[in-house]
Amino acid sequence: MDLERQKHMADSFRTRFGAEPQLWARAPGRVDLMGSHTDYNLGYVLTLPISRDTWMAVRKNGARNVRLHAANLNEDDCFPLDEIEKATSTKWSNYVRGVAAVLQSEGLQTDGFDAVIHSTVPLEAGLSSSAALECVTAVVFRELGGWDMEAKAMATLCQRAENQFVGVNCGILDQYSSCLGQSDCALLLDCRDLSTRTVRIADGICVVICNTMSPRRLSGSEYALRRADCERGAAILGVSCLRDVPSEVLAARRHELPEQVAKRCEFIVAESARAESLAAALEAGNREAVARLCAESFAGARDLYEICSPAMEAMNTAMLGAPGVLGARQAGAGFGGCMVAIVEALNADEFGEAVIESYQRASGLRAEVYRVEAAPGAAIFQPQHENASV
Ligand code: GLA
């Protein structure tokens, strides 16, 4: 499959740019296994960088511009490196433009290049296709420019591109996951000091993403409203972020908060603790704890944080009714998009079939189901030779 993908991209590169690509880079999407909206509260999140990724086939063009072809959308874009403005029609190119602008503001060399982009991360579905594009772009500029930068610093700059250039006030989760992924393990990320603990999921347990196929818009006002509620809660409680609020303190001072703010705070404080607990449960293969933690997380997302849509509720029911399910919950920012299930690996196929069938009956929508593995973070890779077996 990878060889076919590579061949398609190389063909498309030749057709558009009349030469061979000289450099290949990739960056993964991610799914959060636990820790919805905890990142901007500087809490914990258990994240899995996934085996669905964004590739760029690249050639330095010797000019001061970047020419792009987005294979998934069949769209082209070109922008000058010396006067980077926001694109209004090819919005996806703002992730590339934003990274270029931020790198320049750091005094880093940015060279013009031509690129074909292809992604197997479903677009706008809550699996961080945008962060994957930002991070693969940063890797390409780093390689072409010949400068060095650690993955953590790169994640932070890509987040800044999204916050300041694209204008989405996200936390660090997506870019961190895409830059720092490792094969074979999930990452328990401490969003305060950006340290991680690697978490090996016990044998026999796998991760299956279920896409509700009902669209989601992150830059919509709801995300910003949740953030504002959390900040308000922290301010009333006299701390700089909800990470600093122990659950006993929240329980004792809950009455000081407006009801909606109290609900948001309750969810975040519990969800951050659940991220740590789920890490331990997955490592130990403690199925009872996995089920309980995921159920608590979904209930909190629905009743306290209020980020669930009717499609998500239908999907949660479908996932919980499917064979081999251990736990099921929301993923990403919520409001539609993808959800995530922890499943007995032996049952993964029948799980997927059952979810598609019962979700369709309940919602009229045809779900997509992706079994995913852990994947390494953004990097250059060597293309396979065309005569290698597929
Ligand atoms: C989006 C944001 C992340 C994070 C999640 C919710 O993916 O980009 O920073 O806040 O939502 O956990």
SS (H, E, C) the chain: CHHHHHHHHHHHHHHHHCCCCCEEEEEEEEEEEECCCCHHHCCEEEEEEEEEEEEEEEEECCCCEEEEEECCCCEEEEEECCCCCCCCCCCCHHHHHHHHHHHHHCCCCCCCEEEEEEECCCCCCCCCHHHHHHHHHHHHHHHHHCCCCCHHHHHHHHHHHHHHHHCCCCCCHHHHHHHHCECCEEEEEECCCCEEEEECCCCCEEEEEEECCCCCCCCCHHHHHHHHHHHHHHHHHCCCCHHHCCHHHHHHHHHHCCHHHHHHHHHHHHHHHHHHHHHHHHHHCCHHHHHHHHHHHHHHHHHCCCCCCHHHHHHHHHHHCCCCEEEEEECCCCCCCEEEEEEEHHHHHHHHHHHHHHHHHHHCCCCEEEEECECCCCEECCCCCCCCCC
Nearest atom of ligand 1 to the alpha carbon of 168: 8
Determine the distance separating the centroid of ligand 1 and the alpha carbon of 81, expressed in angstroms: 29
Catalytic positions, written as ranges? 174
The segments of the chain whose pLDDT lies below 50 read 219, 389-390
pLDDT at 35: 98
Determine the distance separating the centroid of ligand 1 and the alpha carbon of 215, expressed in angstroms: 16
Determine the distance separating the centroid of ligand 1 and the alpha carbon of 169, expressed in angstroms: 9
Name the residue at shortest CA distance from atom 11 of ligand 1. 333
Name the residue at shortest CA distance from atom 10 of ligand 1. 37
pTM: 0.97
pLDDT at 389: 46
In the structure, which protein residues have their CB atom closer than 6 angstroms to any atom of ligand 1? 32, 36-37, 39-40, 170-171, 173-174, 218, 332-333
**Do the Cβ atoms of 193 and 43 come closer than 8 Å?**
no
pLDDT at 387: 60
Nearest atom of ligand 1 to the alpha carbon of 40: 10
